Every structure is written in structure tokens, then in C-alpha cells.
Structure 1
Amino acid sequence: MVSALGMTAVLGGCGSTGSSDVTLRLVAADYGDSAANSSKKYWDNLVKAYESQHSGVKVEVSVYSWNDVDRKVKEMVDAGDAPDLAQIGAYADYAAAGKLYQASDLLSIRTQADFLSQLADAGEWKHVQYGIPFAASTRVLFYNKTLFAKAGITPPTTWSELAADAKALKGEGVKYPYALPLGPEEAQAETMQWLLSGGKGYTDDIGTYTIDSAENVQTFTWLKDELVGKGLTGPVAPGKLNRADAFAAFADGQVGMLNGHPTLIQQAAKKGVRFGMVPMPGRTGEARAAMGVADWMMGFKQHGHADQIGDFLDFVYDQKNVLAFSRAYGLLPVTGSASNTMTESDSAPDQALHPFLDQLPTSELYPVGKTSWAAVSAAVKKQIGQAVTPAGSPAGVLTGLQATATEADSDDVN
């Protein structure tokens, strides 16, 4: 992978913003898994390059783990001292509270136009963009090539083929024929991918929650009856299986198939697992859409500095910098220029991301533009596993989640 240390680009023609002695404070999330590849190194080098061309502007960056970063920003805002910039997991609450700059108040037209449209659209609250996409990923179906060869099967393209493959893998003694992580860590992701696979999702085309739609009930009924009920999801109840544990089991060669994002590539490769990746199957063919995920950059209005914030962000989103960050952390570029470059690249790290890039243009993201989403996501994490237990009722659980969503959404009409 390309080192973050060598990634900063010098933008020709950049100079001072015309203001002096301005210090911007940025709070950012850490995408690294060790001190050696911490995001702090990425930001240190990018800031050094930026400041060398902007003598009147300093940028102070504080990097926190994903366990802490959203809370840190909230504490700063609640204390009346918001950062100038935050790169975190959600923006809608701050937008609704009137604390953020609109993206158009900060970014050049060229930068705005370069964002992938579905990511820019997902950054809108009440049809105005406040959330600026920073990193993206999608999900594909990973499968263990060694286990598949042993069972004499090929990657599935429909649900019935997936169930048949899982049955064959179970017959060969595979511990988790299909790993179904509906545990509290990230159940909202696995749930969304299956809802999309069944033809629907959390919301309809105009953003209204439709969690208990007939199609969604049919999807979880199928999961309960055809996978979980037939013992094809492994020894741990899906409601108790977390995503990290499922990924670790895949890397240990104990899983036949599971939904995965780009970080699983390196995790499995380090353990010598031979794996392939295909689009998630749908009920009778390819899923309606893959699930996409984006993390967000935002600018707070409290201390002003809109011109300096915007100028710095134009530098952050330069193609070379976007590519370098994406390559360093195995994530997908959020801009069209960087995405096209990666798609056309024949380097091994870039090619490894091509299956995810292929899914991105038609991917569907969480309804992050709704301030109600946090409450809905928390409810899904807590309750969805019950839908596939032996005594569970898919319709009952989804109806309960719909009631939670409707209540949470009552003050957040788009």
C-alpha cells in the first residue's frame, strides 16, 4: 500500500488566503490500526505541505480513535468551543442545530463538482449539503476459494444458490457456512445489505422509513427459515455474532461466505486465506444495490474563518491527496477524478479495490441525512437479532423497529 508519509501533493499556484495569524482546529478520526499507520501521520504531512504555501494559516489537528472521536467533538460543541473542522461519522444533528456551514459556503465550485453525486446527495439535510464526504466503502460477498473448491461449488448469484452453497459447505464441516453478524457491533450494516438484496431498504425513494414493508418481512423470514433455521450460519446465534468476530473467523478459514468491506482484504490476506469477491446475490439475481458507507467532513460556523476553512478543504480534496489517503487505508475515493484514476489503475492495491469501486456508483447509503437515524440504528443493533431466533417473529421485530423510526422521525421531516 502507498505510505501516507509520501502522499502530500503540492498544488501549483496556491498562496496565502490573504489573512494572517489564523489557526484552524481540526478533529479527525483515526483510520490506522497501529501507531505506525495512524491517521496522525497523514494529517501531519498534509498540514505541513499546506502551511508551507499559506504563511498566515496554521492547522492544528487532533486525531482520536473511532471509539472516542464523535464524543470528543460533541463535548467541544456542548462546551461552547466547537472545532473549525471535524472529520467524523455523522453531521445531521449539527446541521439541524444550525452549527455548520453549507458546503457551498466553503468549497470551490471545482471541488464541489468533483464529489460522487450519491455521496454529495447523502450529505444533505433538508436538501442542502452540509456533510462533505471524506471516505467511502461498499460491501461485497467474500467467499473462501479453498472451501468452495473442496465443496465443489461456485459463488452464488441468487438466494437459492447461496443457501445451496451454504448447505454444501456445512456438509464439508465448515464452521460458519454463511456468517450472519447481527450482533450489536454493526447489525445495522448486515441488515441493510440484506434489505437491499431483497429489493427494498430502510427508506423509500423519498426518505420515508419503510422498515416493516412486505419485502423486508419476506427477507428476514427467508433468513430465519432458510439459513438460520437450517443451521447454515454457524454455532453462534446471529444476534450474538459481531462483525469483527465474523471477519476474524473468515481470516482463520472458518467461514465460507460473508458480507465484507475493503479492510477484510488485508486481514484475510495476512492469514493466507484464498478468497474471491462477488456482488451480493439478490432474491432472483444481483441485489438491487450494494450498501455504501461514507464518513464526513464538516465546517463549524462558531469561530468564522469560512475562507480559510474552504481553502484548506480545497487542498484536502485535491486528487493526489484523496488518492493517497484512500490507498493508505484501503478505502474508496469520494471524488470522481480520484475514483476514475483508481479504476484505470493496474497496480495490485488499486485492483484489489475494483470490486468495491464497481459497486459504488449504484450503492445506497444509510439515511444519514435524517437526525432520527442514530436512534433507529441503535434500535436495529439491539433488536434485529431477535427476528431470526427460533421463536422470533420477523414481522413483529420489523414492526417494532418501524414504530421506533416513525416516532424518532416525527420532528425530522425531509
Structure 2
Amino acid sequence: MKTMDRRRFLGLAATGVAGAAGMTALSGCGRGPASGEVKLKLVAADYGNPGGENSSKIYWQKIADAFTKKNPDITVDVTVYSWTDIGKKLTAMVDAGNPPDIAQVDSYADWAAEGKLYKVSELLPIPVQAEFLVALAEAGEVRRVQYGLPFVASTRVLFYNKDLFKKAGLDPDEPPESWRELKSAAQALKSAGVKIPYGLPLGPEEAQGESLMWMLGNAGSYVDSVGNYTINSPENIETFKWLRDNLVAPGYTEPNPQRVDRQKMFEAFVKGDVGILNGHPTLMQQADKEHIAYGTGKLPGSSGPAEGTLGVADWMMAFNKNDKNGHREACGKFLAYVFEEKNHYAFTSQYGLLPVTTSASERMRKDEKQKKLWPFLDQLAGAEFYPVGKVSWAGTSATIKKSIGRAAMKGGDPNGVLTMLQRKAETEEESAPS
């Protein structure tokens, strides 16, 4: 997949997307040419290669054609953009007052807070709503009301290079389960001449993800159980002090992890230059392609395996601008069709992603061809997601991506960096639409 994780896996939410002019001709929708017909406009992201054989355009066009065959009074106009372009394209449409009827992207909270989206309860019957995994449905809520429909998901596991473990005298079937074991393995890998014992990507591509995985290993997170920011909690400060003193300062990572992007670490791993790192299903596909002998395990925690892991989802949503034209019912019908088991599973299985419905998840669990995804699937129900339902998260995440890596640098000040991020997050929260 052109991984959902690229930031994407919350690029739009994390960076804040800028509008562009001149997009109105591509957006909006209206009645079809004949009385009683509805034409829906769908804008989606491409998980494959745009214009290539695995482009998501092919999937969406098949779905649209099959849906119209069953519902002749509803047609669906499909537009698919690369992850590089979809943020600014979609934002331009919305800002111009001509949003699509349905969009599939990686954030939704801003538009929900502005009253531009249908509630999920306005779109789908209760049996369809009940199909979504609970953790994901809750992640689609803004102020306890669900607006975002999870589309696909991913979780993270620890990856390690078995050949490099053997070279370092480590058991290739025993991944480290605690921070102490991780440090010991990194030390052995360094002594064996491994270029990067532990890959720590705290650069701007996805620093918010790597950071959260480490926080979870020490009972920390970005928010507490009621959604208040806890970025500078004692647990999180302790986590970054440990990273600074036990991995970065001894030279078990790249010298400047705050400048290292996740994709760079993935590429180094599949070249055999990285001993251990956290990854998602895309890395598995890349490593298989390069014939890397790798193993996976749970994320290490401060005193044993972490109790949870990072979960990431991309989202679908329906804009309510055309409600007076009867598009709410048509949008609901189409979305219900998209999430039918066979249709939803066709997409997730093609791109190596995790289903978000109970029926499709059970199907993946029985599909031997998807056996390598089972460890990721096992973790999904208990995974922790970014607080994407907080309207302030977009700006907060963007700041985290730019700055949090400094907390783990040799000579860095975890308390100072995390407290600065906490204050900025609180400021974003106070200025968010109520």
C-alpha cells in the first residue's frame, strides 16, 4: 500500500491542510439529468500507485458501478487523488462551499465541529453501525457524537532482523520484551557492527506515532481517559529521559533521531542496516519483497511487554451541504454498501490493511493468505488511537511532529520540551470551536 501511514496515517490531521483556489469545478454535486436521480460525488485517497494497476481508482469505480446497478436512481462520480494531493484538494472544495457528498481521507474533526458533516446515526441503520469495532467507532466521535466512519486501520508491532540478531549472538526467536532487554539487544547489535541497532524515527513525518508507542510502554499517552491533554505527564517525561540516556546518548540510534523520518528507517531496515524498530504491515510487505528474515513481537514496555499499541485509522464522512436535494439517504445507502463484508474485505485484503467491521475482521482471521496480518489484527480492539476527535488535535499534532524529537536528543530537556507542547496543546484546545 501507498501506506495509509504516510502522513497521511494523520498527515492531514497532523499538518493542517492548506486550501487551494480553482477547485470548484471538481467538487459539489447535484441531481442527475432525469427526475428522481441523484448523482453523488466521491473523493478518495489512493492507496496504490496513481494510474497504476493497483490504484484505488479501480476499486472505487467497480464499487460505484455495482452500486448503481443495484440502485439505478443513484450514480456515483469517483475522483481519486494521491495522498500528497488529497488534503489540499479536498480542503479547497470545502472552503469553496462545494464539498463532495462523500470523502475518504485521514481526518474529519474540523469539518464535524463546523457542522458540515452528517452524524453517522443520520446515515446508517443501527445494524450497520453496530458492525464497526467499538474502539474505532469511538475514535470517530467529536464530543461523543460519531461523525467519522473508520475505513481501514493498522496497528504497530516490533520488528527485528533475525540475521542481525544471529550476528550479534542474540536468539533470533526471542524479541526484546522490556526496555532493559531492548537496550541490551541494541548494545549487542552495535558491538556486532550493525549500523543502526534501533531505528528511532522522531522526525517530522511521524514523530507523533513513534512517541505515542513509547509513551504507551510506560503507562503514558497524549490524553487521559476523559480527553484532557497529558503530554508532560511524569510518565511521558520519564519515557523521554530513558530514550535520551539509554538509546540516543550511547549511540544505539542514528545520531539525530529528531531529523529521521519513518520511511527512511523502513528503507534502512529492508536494506539490512537496522536491527530493531517499530512498524506496521507496510514494512512487512517491503521486507518480504527484499527477502529480509524478520520477526515480530509486542512493543516493549518499561518493565515488560506494553499493554497496548498504537492504532491508526483513515476515515469516511458525508457532507451535508446537499441535504435539501435528498442526498442524505443516497449517501447512507452507498456507505452501507461500501461496508458490506465482501466489499470492505476486498479493499483491506488488497492493500494489506486491517478491516474495521466485525464480519470482515472475522473473515480475515479465517483467511490463511492473510496469516501475517493476524498479529496486527489481534491488537486492534485494544489499540490506542490518536485523539482525532479533538478539534485541537490537528494543530497539536503538527507541533508535536516538529518538536518532540528534541526531547530525546543527547543533552535534550524532556521536561522543557513536553511542557512546551502541553501548553501549546492547551492553547489549541481553548481556541477550538465549541
- From 80, 85, 92, the counterpart of 1:68: 85
2:433 and 2:54 mapped to 1: Cα distance? 41
Q: Does 1:137 align with 2:154?
A: yes
| One-letter identity of the residue aligned with 2:253 | T
Equivalence for 2:43: 27
- From 197, 217, 227, the counterpart of 1:207: 227
State whether residues 124 and 369 of structure 1, in contact with CA within 8 Å, keep that contact through their aligned partners in structure 2: yes
Question: Any residues of structure 2 matched to 1:11-410 within 5 Å, and which?
Answer: 20-33=36-49, 35-153=52-170, 154-234=174-254, 236-304=255-323, 305-347=327-369, 350-410=370-430
| One-letter identity of the residue aligned with 1:30 | D
Q: Helix, strand or coil: the match of 1:37?
A: coil
| One-letter identity of the residue aligned with 2:74 | V
1:162 and 1:358 mapped to 2: Cα distance? 23
1:218 and 1:344 mapped to 2: Cα distance? 41
2:230 and 2:420 mapped to 1: Cα distance? 12
Using the TM superposition, give the Cα deviation of residue 30 of structure 1 relative to its aligned residue in structure 2, in angstroms: 0.6
Tell me the alpha carbon deviations over residues 54-86 of structure 1, each in whole angstroms, 9 at most, x when there is no partner.
111110111011111122111001111111001
2:433 and 2:210 mapped to 1: Cα distance? 26
Give structure 1 stretches of 5+ with no counterpart: 2-18
State whether residues 20 and 55 of structure 1, in contact with CA within 8 Å, keep that contact through their aligned partners in structure 2: no
Using the TM superposition, give the Cα deviation of residue 272 of structure 1 relative to its aligned residue in structure 2, in angstroms: 1.0
Q: TM-score, normalised by structure 1?
A: 0.93
Q: Helix, strand or coil: the match of 2:337?
A: helix
Using the TM superposition, give the Cα deviation of residue 412 of structure 1 relative to its aligned residue in structure 2, in angstroms: 4.4
Q: Helix, strand or coil: the match of 1:62?
A: strand
Using the TM superposition, give the Cα deviation of residue 392 of structure 1 relative to its aligned residue in structure 2, in angstroms: 1.1
1:37 and 1:290 mapped to 2: Cα distance? 29
| One-letter identity of the residue aligned with 2:393 | W
| One-letter identity of the residue aligned with 2:233 | S
Equivalence for 2:17: none
Tell me the alpha carbon deviations over residues 199-253 of structure 1, each in whole angstroms, 9 at most, x when there is no partner.
110000000000000000000000000000110013x410111011000000101
Q: Helix, strand or coil: the match of 1:221?
A: helix
Q: Helix, strand or coil: the match of 2:391?
A: coil
Give structure 2 stretches of 5+ with no counterpart: 2-34
Using the TM superposition, give the Cα deviation of residue 389 of structure 1 relative to its aligned residue in structure 2, in angstroms: 1.7
Q: Helix, strand or coil: the match of 2:130?
A: helix
| One-letter identity of the residue aligned with 2:45 | A
Moved more, 184-193 or 147-156: 147-156
Using the TM superposition, give the Cα deviation of residue 343 of structure 1 relative to its aligned residue in structure 2, in angstroms: 1.4
Equivalence for 2:21: none
Equivalence for 2:29: none
| One-letter identity of the residue aligned with 2:197 | P
Superposition CA RMSD, Å: 1.3
Tell me the alpha carbon deviations over residues 340-365 of structure 1, each in whole angstroms, 9 at most, x when there is no partner.
11112222xx1010110011111000
User: Identity of paired residues, percent?
Assistant: 52
| One-letter identity of the residue aligned with 1:137 | S
Tell me the alpha carbon deviations over residues 17-62 of structure 1, each in whole angstroms, 9 at most, x when there is no partner.
xx83210001101111451211101101111111111111110111
2:244 and 2:304 mapped to 1: Cα distance? 20
| One-letter identity of the residue aligned with 1:23 | K
